[in-house]
Chains A and B, each alone.
Chain A
Amino acid sequence: MDRTESMATAGGQTSVSGAPPAELAGVAGRFALHALGYGIPAAANRLSYMLGGLTFIGLVVLAVTGIWLDQYYNPDPLSAHASVVYTVTRAPLGAWVRALHYWTACVVLVSATAHVVFAFVRRSYARPREVTWWSGVLLLVLVAGLAFTGTVLRADQEGGEALAHAVAAAELLGPLGAPLSRDFAASTSLLARIHNAHVSLLPLSLFAIVALHFWLIRHLGINAPSGERAAFSSHLRRLLGFGLVGFAGLSLVAALFPPALGHRAVEGVEVTKPFWPFLWIYTLENTIGLWGMILGPGVLIGFLVAVPLLDRGSERPAWLTGLAAALLVAFFGALVYGFFAPQMQHIGM
Chain B
Amino acid sequence: MRGSWLLLLSGLLVGAPATALAHDVGVIRLGAEEAPAGSELEIRGEKLSKNTEFTVVLRGALETHTLGAVRSDSAGAFTLRVVLPADASPGAYVVRLLAPDGDESARAELKLLPPAPQAVAAAEHDHHEEGGGQSAHVEATAAPLDLPLDRGPLEWALVLAISAGSLAGGLALLRRA
Q: Contact flags (1/0) for A61-104 with B, using CB distance below 8 Å?
A: 00000000000001010110011011011001101100000000
B166 CB-CB contact with A under 8 Å = yes
Taken together as a complex, chains A and B put the C-alpha atoms of A264 and B145 apart, in Å, by 9
B155 engages A96 (CB within 8 Å): yes
B149 engages A258 (CB within 8 Å): yes
Pick from A79, A234, A246: contact of B91, CB below 8 A: A79
Chain A residue numbers with a CB within 8 Å of B159 are: 93, 96, 251-252, 254-255
B174 engages A82 (CB within 8 Å): no
From 226 to 265 in chain A, residues with beta carbon under 8 angstroms from any chain B beta carbon are: 234-235, 237-238, 240-248, 251-252, 254-255, 258, 260-265
Q: Is the interface of B mostly helix, strand, loop or mixed?
A: mixed
A14 CB-CB contact with B under 8 Å = no
Taken together as a complex, chains A and B put the C-alpha atoms of A88 and B112 apart, in Å, by 22
B64 CB-CB contact with A under 8 Å = no
> Whose C-beta in chain B lies nearest to the C-beta of A88?
B147
Taken together as a complex, chains A and B put the C-alpha atoms of A272 and B143 apart, in Å, by 9
Chain A residue numbers with a CB within 8 Å of B166 are: 244-245, 247-248, 251
Q: Which 5 pairs from chain A and chain B are nearest by CB? A: A244-B170, A241-B173, A260-B144, A241-B174, A245-B170
Q: Return 27 A-B CB contacts under 8 Å, by A number.
A: A74-B61, A74-B91, A78-B113, A79-B61, A82-B89, A88-B149, A96-B155, A156-B145, A157-B141, A237-B174, A237-B176, A238-B174, A241-B172, A241-B174, A245-B166, A245-B174, A247-B170, A248-B170, A251-B159, A251-B162, A261-B147, A262-B141, A262-B142, A262-B145, A269-B140, A271-B141, A343-B142
New A-B pairs, 14, CB < 8 Å, besides A245-B166, A248-B166 = A45-B177, A78-B92, A82-B62, A86-B62, A93-B155, A93-B159, A95-B149, A96-B159, A240-B170, A251-B159, A251-B166, A262-B143, A263-B140, A269-B140
